[in-house]
Amino acid sequence: MTDISTFATSQLSLLDKELQAELAETQLLTETHAPNTLQRAGLALLNLHVSSQRTGLGGKTVLELGLDPAVGGGELPEHGLRVGDICAVAEQPKGGERKKEREGMEKQGVEGVVTRVHKETVTVALDRDEVEIPNGKLWLVKLANDVTWKRLNFTMTRLQKMQPSEHSTLTQVLFGQSSPTRIPPDDLKSELKWHDPTLNDSQQKAIRFALASHEVALIHGPPGTGKTHQLIELILQLLDRDQRLLVCGPSNISVDNIVERLASHKVPMVRLGHPARLLPSVLNHSLEVLTKTSEAAGIVQDIRAEMDSKQSSIRKTRNGRERRAIYGEMKDLRRVYRQREGRVVSDLLKQSKVVLSTLHGAGGYHLKNEGFDVVIVDEASQALEAQCWIPVLSSGAAKLVLAGDHLQLPPTIKSLNMKQTKKPAVTKADVDNVANGVLNVSIKDETKVNAGGKKDKEDDVKLETTLFDRLLNLHGNAIKRMLTTQYRMHEKIMAFPSSALYDNKLIAADAVKARLLKDLPHGNVEDTEDTREPLVFWDTQGGDFPEKVEDDEAGAKGKGALLAESKVNENEAALAALHVRNLVAAGVQVEDIAVVTPYNGQLALLSRMLKERFAGIELGSVDGFQGREKEAVIVSLVRSNAEHEVGFLDEKRRLNGNSNNPPVALFAQLSIANNWMR
Ligand SMILES: Nc1ncnc2c1ncn2[C@@H]1O[C@H](COP(=O)(O)OP(=O)(O)OP(=O)(O)O)[C@@H](O)[C@H]1O
């Protein structure tokens, strides 16, 4: 049993450390470098002017910024600003101004969020309402993003301050103060009318279990086992039972994935979140778009048009007094606008049986007085526990369903000092066993192993322990169902993750279990020794393939980090390139091939060797290779030294057929070049 307030207090202090680590990383550069240097590092844009100014959701001022015509206009220089980044817009310091004055200027600037990035413009929604945009040249600089942390902080503080009488049954179960309500065995056998009759047995069992559970259900979905696929059925089944649902994921893409799949079922749903961050295919369900297009939206349209015309007249007026008068009128209009928009938004939400947002977005004011019966979180193993508490607390729901895979990498923690050990987590015996078809590797303790390779102590709060992990430790397998049929990999590729991580429980679906490159449906791939094998190990053992240390400029760029040390293995890269050449010569399409490696130094080297020659090839780091599916994946593991040191590869979950969310899919062939497992 965990004391809730103590837990929240520990989380708050860990979250603060993490925030400090992030701030240190991004602020270091901004505070110590000139604007020009920041622009070169991709963190700032100079010589901007306002090309348009309008009103966005919430009556916010939205600025579109492009290069000042005085400097020739045209395309923006290369930059690293992305939608969702927090930035400051300020009058640009003149060349001769000293650093101190520049800092002053930066502080006078107004903060906002990047909402759109085009070749020639960047659009920013400003945080402050009554703000005068200077007429001179502007610059935009990326700031450390502490918004996420503020919301996490708010949520954990709320949990910390709750009186025991305020704890719902769900909260008590989530902390082991009550046991989950027992499910009568018959409830797990009831016949259901399936919307999707093709669901496999483990998927049907997981859905029955989630429906019958009273407080909490974990759905464990290894890579490609149709976790999201079966969540759609679960949502439809819950709707049949007249339940109201809040469905969340850690990233926008994880949420959009569900919206896209639900759309064909004509479910009354609303997707929260800024439209600029959503997939175009889900925009019809976006709250902001609906507030403009739904029937009820008429009452805000007129006022929005009036505000827009005032916004543009501000830009044309040079006279200070006139400008101030317009700002005054805008203030009144904004107030009325917000009242009306609030009514439209609340009506739209009331009509929706399913509301979808990121975990973070579930803490917005829109959901303040909405009640939900069930919260569903997809990709739950990619989220910090504190993030999962945002929808749990804001929804007041009595039931929580988490879908995830605790045997894939957890979210990255910057403040965590990763420990390196000499003993590889995967041994030569593991690999030989896989090769020989003897699959008996046991990982009983896996759920307790954190990214540092240490065991969790009971009640020892760690940021990297996800809610999924903690609940599994707390209540055991009784609250979990596992999906076992995977639809991605040849069975020989599946054999390693299945034996090393999933207790040999994975089954390859008929459609994929014998898929080979030579049989790819779209191509004329020849039958060669490179295309008829699903899994190839390239043994680079010996003195010809030494690893080397190199400065990792690619990894450091744009992050404000000091140049980090990374590793390369040149001969291994040459071997990987040779394999790519052979595959392409046999007729495999370049777009169907990915080369991944855990080290940024090796990634940079592989890019130099392959990118131009094989345009369309996918190159990525193991951790960052998110959501990709490829027919052929080549993994270059780099490490090769007499001491058998493998650094951060000492983590089984890093070698699992995936990285972060969602997993890398290995369809027809996996080739691994390295010797470190020996
Ligand atoms: N019962 C089924 N019958 C046939 N195909 C299925 C079934 N369930 C899932 N699939 C297919 O398997 C693939 C993986 O499904 P999905 O993307 O839902 O898996 P996931 O486990 O959520 O994926 P990830 O590993 O990316 O988290 C999809 O192409 C899906 O259509």
Question: Does the interface ipTM go beyond 0.90?
Answer: yes
Nearest-atom number in ligand 1 for the CA of 199 is 1
Would you tell me how many other CB atoms lie within 10 Å of the CB of residue 621? Answer: 17
| Separation of CA 487 and ligand 1 centre (Å) | 6
Of the listed ranges 1-10, 93-102, 408-417, 664-673, the least confidently predicted one is 664-673
CA distance 658 to 646: 19
- Tell me which residue has its CA closest to atom 19 in ligand 1: 226
Least confident stretch, 71-75, 141-145, 275-279, 514-518: 275-279
pLDDT at 262 over 70: yes
Look at residue 175 and give its three-state secondary structure: coil
The atom number, within ligand 1, closest to the CA of 658 reads: 25
CA of 278 relative to ligand 1 center, distance in Å? 22
Q: What angle do CA 135, 140, 143 make, to 5 degrees?
A: 140
DSSP string, 626-656: TT-EEEEEEEE-----TT---GGG--HHHHS
Tokens of 565: 């040390």
pLDDT at residue 58 above 70?
no
Query: 273 is written with which tokens?
Result: 């979140």
Q: What is the 3-state secondary structure (H, E, C) of 520-577?
A: CCCCCCCCCCCCCCCEEEECCCCCCCCCEEEEEHHHHCCCCCCCEEEEECHHHHHHHH
Q: Is the pLDDT of residue 242 over 90?
A: yes
In what helix (H) or strand (E) does residue 421 lie, and over which residues does it extend? none
Section 624-644 average pLDDT: 71
Residue 272, CA distances (Å) to 233, 260, 261, 288, 482 in order: 21, 14, 16, 8, 30
Name the CA radius of gyration of the chain, rounded. Answer: 27
d(CA 584, CA 211): 48
Contact 637, 673 (CB under 8 A): yes
Residue found under tokens 């020794």: 529
Which atom of ligand 1 lies nearest, measured to the CA of 662? 26
Ligand 1, atom 29, lies closest to the CA of 487
Contact 640, 606 (CB under 8 A): no
What is the DSSP track for 222-282? Answer: -TTS-HHHHHHHHHHHHHHTT--EEEEESSHHHHHHHHHHHHTTT--EEE-S-GGGS-GGG
Most confident of the ranges 206-220, 366-380, 503-517: 206-220
- From atom 1 of ligand 1, which residue's Cα is the shortest distance away? 199
Task: Give yes or no for residue 39 having a pLDDT over 90.
Answer: no
Query: Hey, CA dihedral for 582, 586, 591, 596, is it positive or negative?
Result: negative
Q: How much is the pLDDT for 639? A: 66
pLDDT at 425 over 70: no
pLDDT of 6 > 50? The answer is yes
CA distance 234 to 192: 11
Per-residue pLDDT band for 193 (boundaries 50, 70, 90) equals very high
CA proximity to 569, closest of 662, 416, 673: 673
- C-alpha neighbours within 13 Å on the C-beta side of residue 302: 5
Above 70 in pLDDT, residue 502?
yes
Q: Label residues 533-544 b or e (16+ Cβ within 10 Å = b).
A: bbbeebebeeee
Instruction: Tell me, in angstroms, the distance from the centre of ligand 1 to residue 292's CA.
Output: 35
End-to-end Cα separation, the chain, in angstroms = 43
How many other C-beta atoms can be found within 10 angstroms of the C-beta atom of residue 378?
Answer: 27
- Give bridge partners of residue 227 from the DSSP assignment: none
- For residue 483, give the ligand 1 atom closest to its CA: 21
**Residues 6+ away with beta carbon under 8 Å from 191:** none
Atom of ligand 1 nearest to the CA of 203: 1
What is the Å distance from ligand 1's center to 391 Cα? 25
More confident: 613 or 677: 613
Q: From CA 26, how far away is CA 31, in angstroms rounded? A: 9
Q: What is the mean pLDDT of residues 409-415?
A: 72
pLDDT at 415 over 80: no
Which range, 85-99, 174-188, 585-599, has the best average confidence (pLDDT)?
A: 174-188
Ligand 1 centroid to residue 228 C-alpha, Å = 7
Please determine, for residue 459, whether its predicted confidence score (pLDDT) is greater than 50: no
Residue with the bigger pLDDT between 644 and 551: it is 644
Residue nearest to atom 10 of ligand 1 (CA): 226
Q: Which two tokens stand for residue 593?
A: 């091939």
Predicted TM-score (pTM) of this structure: 0.75
Give residue 20's pLDDT band: very low, low, confident or very high (50, 70, 90).
Answer: confident
CA 583 – ligand 1 centroid, Å: 27
Q: How far is the CA of 505 from the centre of ligand 1 (A)?
A: 17
* Comparison of pLDDT for 281 and 574, the residue scoring more: 574
| Coil, strand or helix at 100 | helix
- Spacing, Cα 647 to ligand 1 middle (Å): 33
Closest alpha carbon to 180 in 487, 451, 400: 400
Nearest CA to ligand 1 atom 2: 199
- Res. 273: pLDDT tops 80: yes
Testing ligand 1's pocket by substitution, the residue of 194, 201, 229, 660 carrying the most ligand atoms inside 8 A of its CB is 229
pLDDT exceeds cutoff 60 at 100: no
Pairing between β-strand 374-377 and β-strand 245-249 as defined by DSSP bridges: parallel
Amino acid letter at 61? T
Q: Closest residue (by CA) to atom 17 of ligand 1? A: 226
pLDDT, averaged across the chain: 79
Q: What secondary structure, in 3-state letters, does 153-216 show?
A: HHHHHHHHHCCHHHCCHHHHHHCCCCCCCCCCHHHHCCCCCCCCCCCCHHHHHHHHHHHHCCCE
pLDDT at 276 over 70: no
Residue 110 β-bridge partners: 89
Determine the Cα–Cα distance for residues 368 and 386; give it in Å rounded to an integer. Answer: 18
Which residues does ligand 1 sit against, CB inside 6 Å?
A: 198-200, 203, 221, 223-229, 487, 662-663
What DSSP character marks residue 381? G
- Among candidate residues 7, 15, 16, 19, the one with its CA nearest the CA of residue 159: 7
Q: For residue 99, is pLDDT > 60?
A: no
CB-based contacts of 552: which residues, under 8 Å, 6+ apart? 563, 564, 565, 566, 599, 600, 601, 604
Q: Whose CA is nearest to atom 4 of ligand 1?
A: 198
Atom of ligand 1 nearest to the CA of 224: 25
Tens digits of per-residue pLDDT, 544-554? 656 666 644 43
C-alpha to C-alpha distance for 287 and 540, rounded to whole angstroms:
54
Both structure tokens of 654? 């890093």
Residue 363 to residue 342: CA distance in whole angstroms: 16
The mean pLDDT value for 327-350 works out to 84
State the pLDDT at residue 677: 35
Q: Which atom of ligand 1 is nearest to the CA of 486?
A: 12
What are the backbone angles phi and psi of residue 597, rounded to the nearest 5°?
A: -150, 150
The pLDDT assigned to 583 comes to 93
State residue 581's pLDDT score.
Answer: 93
Q: How far is the CA of 260 from the centre of ligand 1 (A)?
A: 14
Ligand 1, atom 28, lies closest to the CA of 226
Q: Tell which one of 195, 219, 379, 487 to mutate to probe ligand 1, the residue whose CB is within 8 A of the most ligand atoms.
A: 487
State in Å: Cα 467 to ligand 1 middle. Answer: 23
Question: Strands, E, within 417-518: which ranges?
Answer: 480-482, 485-486, 507-508
Check residue 156 and give left, alpha or beta (phi > 0: left; psi -120 to 50: alpha).
Answer: alpha
